Structure 1
Amino acid sequence: MGFVTRHKERDLEIPMHRQELMTAIEKDLFNDDDVLAAFYGGSIGNENMDLYSDIDLRIVVLPEKFQEFISNKKIGLKNGEMFFILRI
C-alpha cells in the first residue's frame, strides 16, 4: 500500500522548502572558513530522492576545529537565521 497522507497538496511544496533550506545551508557553509568540504549523502547524494527525503549532509573540518564548529552550529533558529542539528 505504501505511505498514505491526507496532506497531498501541502506535501507537494516539500521539495521547494527543502531546496530553500539546502541553499541556505550551502551559503552558510561556503562562508565558513573552517569548512574544508561539504557534500550530500543519502538519497540526495545518490540522486534518487523522493518527495519525503531528508537532507543528509557531510561536513569536513580540521580535527582541531571540530568542537568549535559544533558549538558554533549547534544553535537554534533566531530571527530567521540558519541553524544546524548535528548528529555525531
Structure 2
Amino acid sequence: DIQDEVNSYLTAPIAYKNTHILDWWRLNATQFPNLAIASQAILAIPATSVPSECTFSAGGRICNNLQGSLKAGTIAAQVCLQSWLNFFD
C-alpha cells in the first residue's frame, strides 16, 4: 500500500548531506518502489522544462477562476499538481 510506503519513507534514516540523490533512490528502490518511480520522474525534469510564460499563465487562470482568494502556496501546489497530471496523460 502506498500510504505504508510513504510512512516507511518518512521514518527512514535521513541520508547524509553529500549523498547523491539518484544513487540513494537506486539503492532504496526495492524498499520504496512507488516513490522511486515518482522521484525518478520528478528528478528527471530539467529546471527549465516549462517556459515561465506557461507557468505564469497557469497560475493566472487559477487565480482568475477563484477570484484570487487562494494563498500563494496553494496556487503553486495546484500548478505543480496540474503539471504532474499533464505529464502522466
| TM-score between both structures, scaled by the size of structure 2 | 0.30
Larger Rg: 2
Structure ranking higher in helix proportion: 2
Which structure is richer in relative contact order (CA contacts within 8 A, separation 6 or more)?
1
Structure ranking higher in strand proportion: 1
